Amino acid sequence: MTPEEKRQLDDLVAKVFTLAFELGTKVDNLHREVRELRFNTDDIDLEAALINLEHAFFMTAQSINILKEQARNATIPARKSPRS
């Protein structure tokens, strides 16, 4: 890996982590609003729909975690010694 490629990779990983943090924060805030609405409703149908929406938020959070993990994994070649 050339120094230029390493710099580009570092920049890309930093962007991914920044995006993941921002998305995670927004998803978390929206999830709290949905959960609060679910706890405050007496409508069983709305409650069921909100439970499904909460599940979607959970899956989104899992996807963000996978994105961060794969970005971290992308840095492994930069730590390996160069091939001869």
For 70-84, the pLDDT digits (tens) are: 998 988 877 775 654
Phi, psi at residue 82, to the nearest 5°? Answer: -65, 145
For 7-16, the pLDDT digits (tens) are: 899 899 999 9
> In this structure, what token pair is assigned to residue 21?
């943090």
Q: Pick one of 1.20.58, 2.50.20, 1.20.140, 1.20.120 as the CATH number of 8-75.
A: 1.20.58
**pLDDT for residue 82:** 63
Biggest alpha carbon–alpha carbon distance for the chain: 68
Crossing angle of helices 44-73 and 3-40, in 10° steps, is 170
